[in-house]
């Protein structure tokens, strides 16, 4: 069996090329940026403002890890400025941020916000980057595991609001990447054909068709959390002997200068997965993503996925994920593994209690 698995892995096509690595790094930088025409009412949509949000968030994350000023400057040049040299305006803005780095760090120590730095002090944004938090109802759906994978999400992904978000994200990808993003979409096609679990690949294809985007682009959406960082979870409990419940919450960090988060709010939904009409587990997700970042099996356990700022930058993290998926049958995405856990584990203790019915 091991030999057969190794042979199958060897037969899968390799998708790593230097040009692709550059494209993925560029994409991972821009996934935090605004694009002209983005559906973000009241925000500054200029790229120099977006760059400020990206850079200041990186600086604040590194400062929180007690990095030295020299380390932060080197990281800012590598993680952000290196990816915008093709645009003189963005390159100049990034150089300005590097030059003012001591002041940015000092403002962080004074607990200034990203908006205070980018709008009020550096004047790279005319209006605030992030709108104030808003309360809105999150739509809820049921997805039947009794349906074929390609059909499970059709009634969800065909909703106009989700199609609009997917169209914006896909058009953004086509705009910022060389060759209209076709090279990266081909990576998505290869992931679907050779690297994603068969069931999830079918769900991605069906949802992408309903969203009106290429299946390869839908595959790239599954890597969304691998090209981002942050988010926070908390777990609290009282006296178990008195029946105190366990409370598990998470913050998706919408706003804070991360422009795409304002778009993703419009793609958020709660989905209950059923089998034979009975709920198996439920998740809070972005429509188009079939894996799990936040999920719960009632009466059993809950799971949330969070990250810290990645030492090599999110571009490096994204690249490592692509490489890991190619290395053998054990390569997988964390969001797929979390869904597997919800689908197969009867309780929180690994290996204890067996599989659910």
3-state secondary structure 205-236: HHHHHHHCCCHHHHHHHCCHHHHCCECEEEEE
Q: Which band of pLDDT confidence, cut at 50, 70 and 90, is reported for residue 118?
A: confident
142: pLDDT strictly greater than 60: yes
Rounded CA-CA distance 325/239 in Å is 43
298: pLDDT strictly greater than 70: yes
158's tokens: 């065909």
By mean pLDDT, which of 35-39, 131-135, 180-184, 306-310 is the weakest?
35-39
pLDDT of residue 80: 73
Percent of the chain beyond pLDDT 70? 64
Highest mean pLDDT among 25-29, 90-94, 180-184: 180-184
Percent of the chain beyond pLDDT 90? 25
Q: Give Cα 31 to chain centroid, integer Å.
A: 9
pLDDT of residue 265: 78
The torsion angles phi and psi of 248, rounded to 5 degrees, stand at -120, 115
227: pLDDT strictly greater than 70: no
pLDDT of residue 314: 55
- Specify whether the CB–CB gap between 22 and 176 falls below 8 A: no
Q: What is the mean pLDDT of residues 231-249?
A: 81
pLDDT of residue 253: 61
What length is written for the chain?
357
Q: What is the mean pLDDT of residues 271-285?
A: 96
pLDDT of residue 149: 97
- Specify whether the CB–CB gap between 40 and 18 falls below 8 A: no
34: pLDDT strictly greater than 90: no
Rounded CA-CA distance 297/68 in Å is 43
51's tokens: 């760059």
210: pLDDT strictly greater than 60: yes
Q: Output 223 or 208, whichever has higher pLDDT.
A: 208
- Specify whether the CB–CB gap between 326 and 195 falls below 8 A: yes
Q: Which band of pLDDT confidence, cut at 50, 70 and 90, is reported for residue 321?
A: low
Rounded CA-CA distance 357/355 in Å is 7
Q: Output 255 or 305, whichever has higher pLDDT.
A: 305
């Amino acid at each position: 069996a091991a030999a057969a698995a190794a042979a199958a892995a060897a037969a899968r096509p390799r998708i790593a090329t230097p040009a692709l690595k550059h494209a993925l790094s560029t994409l991972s930088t821009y996934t935090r940026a605004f694009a002209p025409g983005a559906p973000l009412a009241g925000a500054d949509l200029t790229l120099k403002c977006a760059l400020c949000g990206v850079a200041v968030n990186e600086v604040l994350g590194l400062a929180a890890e007690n990095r030295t000023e020299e380390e932060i400057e080197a990281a800012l040049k590598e993680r952000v400025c290196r990816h915008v040299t093709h645009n003189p305006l963005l390159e100049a803005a990034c150089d300005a941020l590097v030059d003012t780095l001591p002041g940015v760090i000092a403002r962080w120590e004074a607990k200034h916000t990203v908006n205070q730095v980018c709008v009020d002090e550096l004047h790279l944004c005319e209006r605030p980057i992030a709108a104030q938090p808003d309360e809105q109802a999150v739509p809820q759906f049921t997805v039947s595991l009794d349906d074929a994978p390609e059909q499970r999400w059709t009634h969800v992904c065909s909703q106009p609001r989700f199609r609009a978000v997917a169209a914006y994200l896909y058009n953004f990808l086509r705009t910022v990447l060389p060759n209209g993003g076709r090279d990266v979409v081909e990576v998505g096609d290869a992931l679907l054909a050779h690297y994603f679990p068969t069931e999830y690949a079918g769900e991605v294809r069906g949802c992408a068709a309903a969203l009106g985007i290429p299946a390869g682009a839908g595959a790239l959406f599954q890597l969304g959390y691998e090209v981002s960082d942050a988010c926070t979870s908390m777990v609290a409990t009282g006296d178990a002997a008195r029946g105190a419940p366990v409370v598990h919450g998470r913050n998706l960090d919408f706003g804070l200068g991360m422009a795409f988060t304002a778009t993703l709010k419009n793609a958020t939904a709660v989905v209950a997965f059923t089998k034979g009409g009975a709920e198996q587990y439920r998740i809070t997700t972005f429509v188009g993503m079939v894996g799990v970042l936040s999920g719960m099996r009632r009466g059993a356990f809950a799971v949330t996925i969070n990250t810290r700022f990645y030492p090599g930058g999110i571009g490096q993290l994204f690249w490592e994920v692509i490489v890991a998926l190619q290395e053998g049958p054990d390569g997988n995405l964390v969001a797929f593994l979390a869904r597997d856990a919800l689908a197969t584990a009867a309780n929180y203790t690994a290996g204890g209690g067996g599989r659910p019915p």
